[in-house]
Chains A and B, each alone.
Chain A
Amino acid sequence: AQSVTQLGSHVSVSEGALVLLRCNYSSSVPPYLFWYVQYPNQGLQLLLKYTTGATLVKGINGFEAEFKKSETSFHLTKPSAHMSDAAEYFCAVTRNTGGFKTIFGAGTRLFVKA
C-alpha cells in the first residue's frame, strides 16, 4: 500500500524565518515524490519533484526538499519565509505498478506572520 503523511495540518512562521514542512511516505516500489502548492481558489502548482539522481532537489520560489530513503521522508524547506508563501502545501507520491496513481498527503497550511 502507498500512503503520504504530512505532519502538522497548520504551520505558522514569521517572515524571514525558516520554513520546514514535513512529509513521510510509504511505498512498496521506488517512488516519484512531489510537492505542490495551492493558493486560495486555485489549482495545484508544482514546486519541485524527485524522481532519480540527486537527493536534494531545488524548486521554484526558493524551496527545496531532500529525499531520504532511510527515513522515508521528503521534507520541504525554505531558508526565509515570505508573506507570499502563505498557502496550502501538498506532498504527493506517484507510483507505477501496472497502473499509475498519485496519492496526496492531507496538506499543510502555511501561515506567515509579519
Chain B
Amino acid sequence: EPEVTQTPSHQVTQMGQEVILRCVPISNHLYFYWYRQILGQKVEFLVSFYNNEISEKSEIFDDQFSVERPDGSNFTLKIRSTKLEDSAMYFCASNGGGIYNEQFFGPGTRLTVL
C-alpha cells in the first residue's frame, strides 16, 4: 500500500541553524501540505502546494519557511534560521484527485531546537 514517508524521524538542531525536512508523497498525488503539531497541541496548517507553487500559507509560514518540490518526488520544508518555538512534530500530507479527498499523512518528523 502506498504511503507518505518522511525523513528524518527526529532532527535535533541548534537555534539559528537551517533545517530541511524531507517528504516523499504518494507518487500520483498532486496536492501537498505541511502541518506542525507542538507537543500536546492542535495540528496547525502551514502551507499547501499544487502545480509547483504555493496555494496557500498560514501566518505561521513566514519568510523563514520555504517549500520545494525539487525533483518530482520529494517535497521539502526548509526552516532557514530555527527558533526554539519551532520545536514541534512536522507532518507532510498529500492527496490526489482533489482537495476534498483524503489527505494521507506521513509519520512526522520531530524537530527539537536547542
Contacts and interface: CB of A to CB of B under 8 A. Distances in A.
Interface stretch (A13-21, A67-75, A79-87, A98-106): A98-106
A46 B102 contact: yes
Interface string B60-94: 00000000000000000000000000000001010
Interface of A is mostly: strand
Interface string A42-84: 1111100101000000000000000000000000000000000
Interface of B is mostly: strand
Given A42-B107, A43-B106, A51-B100, A99 B55 contact: yes
Contact of A94 (B42, B100, B107): B100
A81 to B, nearest CB: 23
A99 B91 contact: no
A30 B43 CA distance: 22
B45 A100 contact: no
Interface in B17-33: 31, 33
Contacts of B106: 43
A34 B48 CA distance: 17
B103 A102 contact: yes
B99 A49 contact: no
Contacts of A90: 42-43
Contact of A107 (B42, B48, B103): B42
Contacts of A46: 102-103
Nearest to B91: A43
Contacts of B58: 101
Contacts of A103: 45
User: Which 5 interchain pairs have the tightest Cβ spacing?
Assistant: A99-B56, A43-B105, A104-B43, A100-B99, A46-B102
9 contacts: A43-B91, A90-B42, A99-B48, A100-B50, A103-B45, A104-B44, A104-B45, A107-B42, A107-B43
Interface of B: 4, 31, 33, 35, 41-45, 48, 50, 55-56, 58, 91, 93, 99-100, 102-103, 105-108
